Amino acid sequence: MSAVEDRRDPSTAPPPRMQALARLPIFLALAGKRALVAGNGAPVAWKAELLAAAGAEVAVFAERPCEELRTITAKAPRAGITLQQRAWRIEDFAGAAVAVGGFEDAAEAARAAGVPVNVIDRPAYCDFSFGAIVNRSPLVIGISTDGAAPVFGQAIRARLETMIPRGFARWAEAARRWRQAVQSSGLSAPGRRRFWQAFAAFALSNPQREPAPADFDALLRRTEDQATAAEAGSITLVGAGPGDAELLTLRAVRALQSADVILIDDLLAPDILDVARREAKTVLVGKTDKQDEVALLIALAKAGRRVVRLKGAGPPTFGREEIAACRGAGLTIEVVPGVAAAADRSETERNTVERVSDRVKNSGRLAPIPETPLRACCGWPAARPARRARALRSTSRG
C-alpha cells in the first residue's frame, strides 16, 4: 500500500460505467496456429472440429480414438487434424496457442507450458470457454452463460439462427473485400463511416442478394454525393417518450447510432444510451436556457457534427422558433417524435420519473466536469460560460 492513504469515502465514488462481465468475449485468430486436444469421445471430437474450422492445425492425442474422432480427422472442415494414438506428454504442449482437455491433468500441464486451456465440462479448470455459436462467417456471434445454463445459451442460439439470415455471411465477406478500396477511396473519416452505415442499411434490407461490384460503386457514389451536406453537420430532435430505452422508435435508434454528439436531459433512464453510437459524446443540458441550448446545437452542427437532442419524460416540446433558428442557420434538421406518454400520470408514475432522474445523475455515466467548457474538453465551441452545459462524457464502451 502506498504511503499516501486514499481517504475518499467509497460511498461517494461513482459506479463503473460498465457492469461486471462474467466472461470477456474475445475472438482468437487461430489460422495456421497449433492447437492441442487431449482426450476421447464425442465432446472432444466436437471441440477439435471447432478449432479446425477456425483454421488451427489441430493435434489430437487419444490412445483409443472413438469413431467420431476418426471421422473428423478424415474430413476436417478447414485446417488439418492430426490424430496421435497415444497419451499426451508434457512436451506436446510446447508451441501450442490453445489446448483442450478431456480431464483435469491436461489443465496443469497446459498452464505449466503457458498455454490457455479449456477442460470439457469442468468450468473451474478453464481459462476460456467456447459457448454457443451462430456462424455466418466472417460474421460470428458467441453466446456464454459462464457455464451456469448451457441449455439456455443453446436456446438463445436457436432463436438467433431464425432471426439472422444466412445471406449476411456474403455481405460480411463483401465488407472484408471492399475495406481496402474504401480506405483508398479518398473519403474522409466521417465519409468512410457514412459509407459503412449505408452499406449496413443496404445489407440488412437485402440479405439474400449476392453482393456485386455494382453495389459497391453505387454506395460509394451515394456517399460522395452526400459528402458536402454531411460535412456541414445536422441536427435531429428525438423524442424518447417516457424515457425508457425499450420504447424508443426505430428512427430514434438510427439517429442515436449515427450521432457524434447527444444532448440529453436528466429525465431519462441511464440505459437509454446503450443503443447510441459508442464514440458519441454526451452533453447533459438539463435546465440550460433554451436560447443557449439552440446556440449550442447550431455551433456543434456547424462544426460538422451530427447532433441529436434527446428529450424524454413525456411528449417532446420542440418549438417552432428552435426549428426555424436551426434552419435559418442553413442546417439540416429532422424531428423524430417519440412514443406519447399518458397525459394524466399517477403519483406513482411521477415518483418513477423522479427516481429515474436521480439514477441518471448518480449513475457515473454523466459525471459532471465542473467549470470545464466544451472547447477545453473536446475542441468544440461552448455555450456562453454562464449557461454552459453541465456535463460531458464519452459513451465509448471499449
Q: Where are the domains of the chain?
A: 34-130, 168-229, 233-394
Q: What is the pLDDT of residue 104?
A: 83
Q: Which of 265, 266, 311, 361 is catalytic?
A: 265
Q: What is the pLDDT of residue 343?
A: 43
Helix and strand totals (H; E) in the chain? 13, 13
pLDDT in tens, the chain (398 residues): 434 334 334 333 444 567 788 889 999 999 999 999 999 999 999 999 999 999 999 999 999 999 999 999 888 778 789 999 999 999 999 999 999 998 888 888 999 999 999 999 888 889 999 989 999 999 999 999 988 888 999 999 999 999 999 999 999 999 999 999 999 999 988 889 889 989 999 999 999 999 999 999 999 999 988 766 556 688 998 888 777 788 888 888 888 988 889 988 777 777 788 888 888 888 888 666 778 888 888 889 888 888 999 887 554 556 677 788 888 888 878 888 887 654 444 444 444 444 444 444 444 444 333 333 344 334 444 434 333 333 333 344 43
Strand order in the sheet with 98-101: 81-84, 57-61, 34-38, 98-101, 117-119
Q: What is the pLDDT of residue 123?
A: 85
Catalytic residue flag (residue 265) = yes
Contacts 24+ apart (CB under 8 A), 8-12: none
Phi and psi (nearest 5°) for 68? -65, -40
User: Which numeric CATH code is attached to 34-130?
Assistant: 3.40.50.720
Can you give the three-state secondary structure of 327-345, one letter per residue?
HHCCCEEEEECCCCCCCCC
Q: Taking the C-alpha atoms of 219, 222, 224 and 226 in order, what is their torsion angle to the nearest 10 degrees? A: -140
Q: What is the pLDDT of residue 393?
A: 38
Q: What is the pLDDT of residue 317?
A: 58
- Cα–chain center distance at 210: 26
CB 273 within 8 A of CB 395: yes
What class has domain 233-394? alpha beta
Burial zone of 112 (CB within 10 Å; 0-12 exposed, 13-18 middle, 19+ buried): exposed
* Alpha helices in the chain, H assignment, sequence order: 42-53, 67-74, 105-112, 150-163, 168-183, 189-205, 213-225, 227-231, 250-257, 290-302, 320-328, 347-362, 374-378
DSSP 247: G
Q: Compute the C-alpha angle 383/189/141, nearest 5°.
A: 105
Angle between helices 168-183 and 189-205 (to 10 degrees): 160
Q: What is the pLDDT of residue 231?
A: 64
Q: What is the pLDDT of residue 16?
A: 54
Cell 429525465, located at residue:
267
Catalytic residue flag (residue 287) = yes
Q: What is the pLDDT of residue 315?
A: 47
Burial zone of 186 (CB within 10 Å; 0-12 exposed, 13-18 middle, 19+ buried): exposed
Phi and psi (nearest 5°) for 232? -75, -10
Q: What is the pLDDT of residue 127?
A: 93
Q: Which of 75, 217, 287, 358 is catalytic?
A: 287
